[in-house]
Amino acid sequence: MTAISKLVRDNILHLKPYSCARSEYRGEASVFLDANENPMNAPYNRYPDPLQEELKKKIAGIKNVRPSQIMLGVGSDEPIDLVIRIFCEPGENNIVAIDPTYGMYQVCADINNVEYRKVLLNRDYTLDAERLLNATDGRTKLLFLCSPNNPTGNLLNRNEIRKILNGFDGIIVMDEAYIDFSSEPSWLEELDERPNMVVMQTFSKAWGLASVRCGMAFASEEITGFFNRVKYPYNINTLTQKFVAEQLDHEDRKDRWVKMLLEQRGLLVEKLGVLPFVERIYPSDANFLLVKVPDADEIYHKLVDRGVIIRNRNAISLCLGCLRITVGAAEENEILINELKQL
Ligand SMILES: *Cc1c(COP(=O)(O)O)cnc(C)c1O
């Protein structure tokens, strides 16, 4: 395997990162006159911990990784952007990704002027490792996988993923935003053996914290070291760090929500399945369903008129005629079904 330091952009490798007051000093002190903070208005007057140590300790316990293997970002969006900026030379390197998938990978690639190569999944949304590997070349630095995938909802086959992990010489990003809803274990289990894998998860879905904007990237210490050099020093504010740490004390509540949503997903499958215009409901390992209908645009707009918003995926690769429906609370799902029955 190519050494990580050989994959990193030269300017990042040689970057002298900003050294903030709070990370130069480590230890116990009672007088802080180092960061030009206002002494009044405690505790909001102090800059946050740039490495979020307390919060990472808690996450590490739950995820069974070392705190040093964690990078925290403003949603997953931040590590998605940073991983591109760390490894891809604009106008020179390229990224290979499955298609269809989450739209932010391409947006971040485009913003960074990095070629983004889409490789179609099979028609049943399964992964063909060989097709993906064939799309890579000597300039490919990153490969994006998303499992369970958005918007298709399915887990990607583990053996196919393994072929890519074993066969690609760059960095593989595994987006596991929906892993809590899935029937298979996280790739975090193999983090220690796979120095070129970055696993991304988020608090936005199962944990019910989308408004808080906190995402996680897990990787080798070498890679998290680069994330830490490139990110804004104080990217996660103190309120967020404290609040998320507190939410982590209620993992049982998250588990109950997941259980409820999986039950609701099953009910939705049953009730959607008997509607005459539903042609197909794709199997889902996530908190949403991809549903094929004859006229997705028409159903989408009719639902909007009735105050029910779903996602129209009609224009996405391999998703002709498809609607993506998030599994809501029981009452919301009932309203959706009732409105659909009246169309
Ligand atoms: C929702 C989602 C995310 C989460 O993004 P955040 O920025 O953490 O809210 C990441 N990846 C995929 C595939 C998603 O669907």
Instruction: Please tell me the distance between residue 216's alpha carbon and the centre of ligand 1 in angstroms.
Output: 10
User: Cβ(236)–Cβ(72) under 8 Å?
Assistant: yes
Distances (CA, A) of 107 to 93, 110, 120: 16, 5, 18
Given this model, what pLDDT does residue 27 score? 76
The answer to whether residue 23 scores a pLDDT higher than 80 is no
Given this model, what pLDDT does residue 276 score? 97
Given this model, what pLDDT does residue 19 score? 85
Question: Which atom of ligand 1 is nearest the CA belonging to 203?
Answer: 8
Distances (CA, A) of 202 to 2, 145, 205, 213: 28, 15, 7, 9
Separation CA 143–CA 146 (nearest Å): 10
pLDDT confidence of 15, banded at 50, 70, 90?
very high
Question: Which atom of ligand 1 is nearest the CA belonging to 215?
Answer: 8
Average pLDDT over residues 15-36: 85
User: Considering only CA atoms, which residue is closest to atom 10 of ligand 1?
Assistant: 177
Given this model, what pLDDT does residue 20 score? 83
Given this model, what pLDDT does residue 147 score? 98
Using alpha carbons, select from 189, 183, 175, 193 the residue that is nearest to residue 80.
175
Q: Which pTM was predicted?
A: 0.97
Instruction: Please tell me the distance between residue 306's alpha carbon and the centre of ligand 1 in angstroms.
Output: 27
- Give the up-direction half-sphere exposure of residue 179: CA atoms within 13 A in the CB hemisphere: 19
Instruction: Please tell me the distance between residue 274's alpha carbon and the centre of ligand 1 in angstroms.
Output: 31
User: Considering only CA atoms, which residue is closest to atom 11 of ligand 1?
Assistant: 177
User: Considering only CA atoms, which residue is closest to atom 4 of ligand 1?
Assistant: 76
Average pLDDT over residues 295-304: 98
pLDDT per residue over 69-94, tens digit each? Answer: 999 999 999 999 999 999 999 999 99
Average pLDDT over residues 253-268: 98
Given this model, what pLDDT does residue 28 score? 83
Separation CA 229–CA 19 (nearest Å): 9
Phi/psi of residue 316, each to 5°? -90, 150
Instruction: Please tell me the distance between residue 134's alpha carbon and the centre of ligand 1 in angstroms.
Output: 27
Question: Which atom of ligand 1 is nearest the CA belonging to 210?
Answer: 9
User: Considering only CA atoms, which residue is closest to atom 7 of ligand 1?
Assistant: 75
For a substitution probing ligand 1, which of 145, 147, 150 has the most ligand atoms within 8 Å of its CB? 150
Query: Residue 201: which H helix or E strand, with range?
Result: strand 197-202
Question: Which atom of ligand 1 is nearest the CA belonging to 78?
Answer: 7
Tokens in use for 134? Answer: 């064939």
Separation CA 70–CA 135 (nearest Å): 30
Average pLDDT over residues 258-270: 98
Tokens in use for 191? Answer: 């983090």
Instruction: Please tell me the distance between residue 104's alpha carbon and the centre of ligand 1 in angstroms.
Output: 8
pLDDT confidence of 22, banded at 50, 70, 90?
confident
Mean pLDDT of the residues in the chain: 97
User: Considering only CA atoms, which residue is closest to atom 5 of ligand 1?
Assistant: 76
Distances (CA, A) of 246 to 54, 180, 251, 255: 11, 19, 10, 16
Tokens in use for 175? Answer: 């987006």
* Angle value at C-alpha 320, between 266 and 267, nearest 5 degrees: 10
Given this model, what pLDDT does residue 144 score? 98
Tokens in use for 21? Answer: 């007051």
In sequence order, the β-bridge partners of residue 97 are 118, 144
Pairing state between β 115-120 and 94-99: parallel
Question: Which atom of ligand 1 is nearest the CA belonging to 102?
Answer: 13
In this prediction, what percent of the chain has a pLDDT beyond 70? 100
Q: What is the DSSP string of 208-224?
A: S-GGG--EEEE--HHHH
Average pLDDT over residues 329-340: 98
The answer to whether residue 286 scores a pLDDT higher than 90 is yes
Given this model, what pLDDT does residue 130 score? 98
Tokens in use for 256? Answer: 């109950």
Determine the number of helices (DSSP H) and then strands (DSSP E) in the chain: 13, 11
User: Considering only CA atoms, which residue is closest to atom 3 of ligand 1?
Assistant: 177
pLDDT per residue over 89-132, tens digit each? Answer: 999 999 999 999 999 999 999 999 999 999 999 999 999 999 99
The answer to whether residue 59 scores a pLDDT higher than 80 is yes
Question: Which atom of ligand 1 is nearest the CA belonging to 149?
Answer: 13
Residues with CB under 6 A from ligand 1: 75-77, 102, 146, 150, 175, 177, 202, 204-205, 210, 215
pLDDT per residue over 182-240, tens digit each? Answer: 999 999 999 999 999 999 999 999 999 999 999 999 999 999 999 999 999 999 999 99
The answer to whether residue 24 scores a pLDDT higher than 90 is no
Separation CA 318–CA 284 (nearest Å): 16
Per DSSP, helices labelled H in the chain are 4-7, 10-13, 21-24, 53-63, 77-87, 104-111, 129-135, 158-167, 221-230, 238-247, 251-273, 296-305, 330-341
In sequence order, the β-bridge partners of residue 71 are 217
Separation CA 200–CA 202 (nearest Å): 7
pLDDT confidence of 271, banded at 50, 70, 90?
very high
For a substitution probing ligand 1, which of 104, 156, 200 has the most ligand atoms within 8 Å of its CB? 104
Question: Which atom of ligand 1 is nearest the CA belonging to 205?
Answer: 1
Q: What is the separation of C-alpha 328 from the centre of its chain, rounded to a whole number of angstroms?
A: 20
